[in-house]
Amino acid sequence: MTEVRITHIGGPTTLIEAAGWRLLTDPTFDPPGRRYSFGWGTSSRKTAGPAVDAAELPPLDAVLLTHDHHADNLDTAGRSLLPTADLVLTTPTGARRLGGNAHGLAPWTTRRLEHPGRPTIEITATPARHGPPFSRPIVGDVTGFALRWEGQRHGALWISGDTVLYDGVREVGRRLDVGTAVLHLGGVRFPVTGPLRYTLTTPRAVDLCRVLRPDTVLPVHYEGWSHFHEGRRTVEAELAKAPADIRTRFRWLPVGSAAQIQV
């Protein structure tokens, strides 16, 4: 059985230490207080800073960047961190914008990380849609990531990225055996677009888990920004209505300290 250390730094940002590899997701290290424009009349204010300073991070083998064009997934300090990693994996459009060490993965394509003395990690891009149908031209491309390596007992470690529930993420459950799911929650919405949602709500996350059947679900990206409408208290209240066999799979990561996850 493989043991993974995951440190939730805040928002979508996690440090994943697995089988000798160090991977960082969606770097956000700016202090709180600033308001960021997301385009098309939408914006959000950062309300909480990172629990770990960027200077405290170990050397990074790779950054897994679900998308580069929204500051709640890549802010100014996070962007300055990218060149320090050996590799940045993101969407093809994001890789073209970033250049340098960024490599784009289209959905269901794979990049292998190899190093002497460590198991090879296969990182597969998975579909994500950051809003309602036909919103992609406005909200841009997003990706999830599935991580697999020799020795896993419970299936892939899957990072959803910012997505709603749609056929693309249901396909993950059909094509992959997911052991641990890192789900971006928060039920994002904006005044200018009314009730439309741009990330998973808790009920939709429960529906997704009926398809995935993961052993462990790790919520992230649910607090720390003003555009989130489902923080931890709301998520917990909604989970209380879910069937016990799904509710008990959810595990809250402590912010700022490493948690041991069996994969």
- Domain of 224, CATH number, reads 3.60.15.10
φ/ψ (deg, to 5) at 253 = -80, 135
pLDDT at 26: 98
Domain around 26: 3-262
Burial of 7 by CB count in 10 Å (0-12 exposed, 13-18 middle, 19+ buried)?
buried
DSSP tag of 157: E
CA distance linking residue 260 with residue 26, whole number of Å: 20
Is residue 241's pLDDT more than 80?
yes
pLDDT at 106: 98
Written as one string, the DSSP assignment of 183-233 is EE-S----GGGTT--SS--HHHHHHHHHHH--SEEEEESSSSBTT----HH
pLDDT at 179: 96
Please count the structural domains in the chain: 1
CA distance linking residue 44 with residue 198, whole number of Å: 13
H-assigned helices in 69-145:
76-81, 92-98, 136-139
pLDDT at 7: 98
Is residue 1's pLDDT more than 70?
no
Under a CB-based contact definition with an 8 Å cutoff, are residues 81 and 54 in contact? yes
**80-99: average pLDDT:** 98
Q: Which two tokens stand for residue 161?
A: 């990225």
Under a CB-based contact definition with an 8 Å cutoff, are residues 112 and 148 in contact? no
Query: Residue type at 85?
Result: A
Q: Which two tokens stand for residue 243?
A: 């069937």
Over residues 34-80, the pLDDT tens digits come to 999 998 889 999 999 999 999 999 999 999 999 999 999 999 999 99
pLDDT band with cut points at 50, 70 and 90 for residue 235: very high
Under a CB-based contact definition with an 8 Å cutoff, are residues 163 and 198 in contact? no
